[in-house]
Amino acid sequence: MKQSINILISGGGTGGHIYPAIAIANEIKVRYPDANFLFVGAKDKMEMEKVPQAGYEIKGLWISGIQRKLTVDNLSFPFKFINSLSNASKIIKKFKPDVAIGTGGFASGPTLIMANRKGIPTLIQEQNSFPGITNKLLAKKAHKICVAYDNLERFFPVDKIVKTGNPVRQDILSIHSKVDEGKEFFKLDKKRKTILVLGGSLGARKINQLVKNNLEFFKDQEVEIIWQCGKFYFEEYKKYNELENVQVHQFLNRMDLAYAAADIIISRAGASSVSELCIVGKPVIFIPSPNVAEDHQTKNAKSIANKHGAILLRETELETFSIVFETLLKDTGKQEQLSENINELALPGATTDIVNEVEKLLKK
């Protein structure tokens, strides 16, 4: 194999597509320090900011998804798609990749279609238990499909599927040795239980409202709250930092220590979060967002809850939250059972396993 290899990676739109792409790139870089990387994303999406922050070059395509209802965006989609195919072709011609990797999202569609047409080996990574439209379309021509859940042969050719799991941040693999460090970092009372609330980087309106409406209840339960309310909601909720048992954060820069300090976690059910929480192995109440494509989050949460690894509480059932929460808080046996069961579903070697598959394609 030639020493310097060219790796093309495309994925984005949400952190759930971007961070796995960056994790895969980082692992390839460890094995091939001289490798050249080029990311392809969608213009105006968060990957155009996050990928350069991680130290990689990115090119943007003029592409967006198809909306479920008739919009101006939908009418312009055919033009955007043709334009993106043409630009992806030019990028590939100039960069000459040895392999192309897609992690989902709009931009990976045209990029991997053109890579396949040019005979470049392609690998797609599907994070969810129910695949997105882009990966479903790409699956036919992809050489390898890395998945995180069972039963995806309903959507993908069975001979191409490898169950690897989703890439996760490496610092969460050792959280059980960081419990004291986590409690000290967040200045928590070690005698009280700590509840970690996660709504994603932008925030989750329903989860934030739920926490706000239950602040008195949490005080009565004598628990401490680490509340990651998200970028859109911080101004509205930062005033609750005045409360003795509550700390409100826009972001959590030390997620490893937040996970380590937590006794119970309340979270959305994006694919990356679910994969991380399996490794973290703490009792989880999933409140999935119903507003994502194909209701991915509910399906992700269900796949864990069906194996008694978490509690699934839909947004339509939030009036039962206080009963569900108090029951779990007082039942240490249930907490241990949930921790054990969710941890059994963990795939901590996902990034390594995915890059092993990339290497096989490079060797071909």
pLDDT digits (tens, 9 = 90+) for 312-350: 999 999 999 999 999 999 999 999 999 999 999 999 999
**Residues 297, 132 contacting (CB under 8 angstroms):** no
Measured between alpha carbons, how far is 260 from 174 in angstroms, rounded to an integer? 9
Helices (H), 190-254: 205-213, 215-220, 234-237
Burial of residue 219 (number of CB atoms within 10 Å: 0-12, 13-18, 19+): middle
pLDDT of residue 45: 87
Three-state DSSP class for residue 160:
helix
Name, in order, each residue with C-beta under 8 angstroms of 222's C-beta and a sequence gap of 6 or more: 192, 193, 245
pLDDT digits (tens, 9 = 90+) for 197-216: 998 777 799 999 999 999 99
Domains along the chain? 6-166+348-363 (3.40.50.2000), 171-344 (3.40.50.2000)
pLDDT digits (tens, 9 = 90+) for 155-204: 999 999 999 999 988 889 999 999 999 999 999 999 999 999 998 777 79
pLDDT of residue 1: 44
Measured between alpha carbons, how far is 145 from 123 in angstroms, rounded to an integer? 6
Percent of the chain topping pLDDT 90: 79
pTM across the whole model: 0.87
Place of tokens 């069975």: 158
Query: How far, rounded to the nearest angstrom, does the alpha carbon of residue 350 sit from its chain's CA centroid?
Result: 13
* Mean pLDDT score of the chain: 92
Three-state DSSP class for residue 329:
helix
Residue 74 predicted with pLDDT over 60: yes
* Token pair of 85 as six digits: 């195919």
Number of helices and strands in the chain (H, E): 15, 13
The strands making up 58-61's β-sheet, listed across from edge to edge, are: 58-61, 36-42, 6-10, 99-102, 122-126, 144-147, 161-163
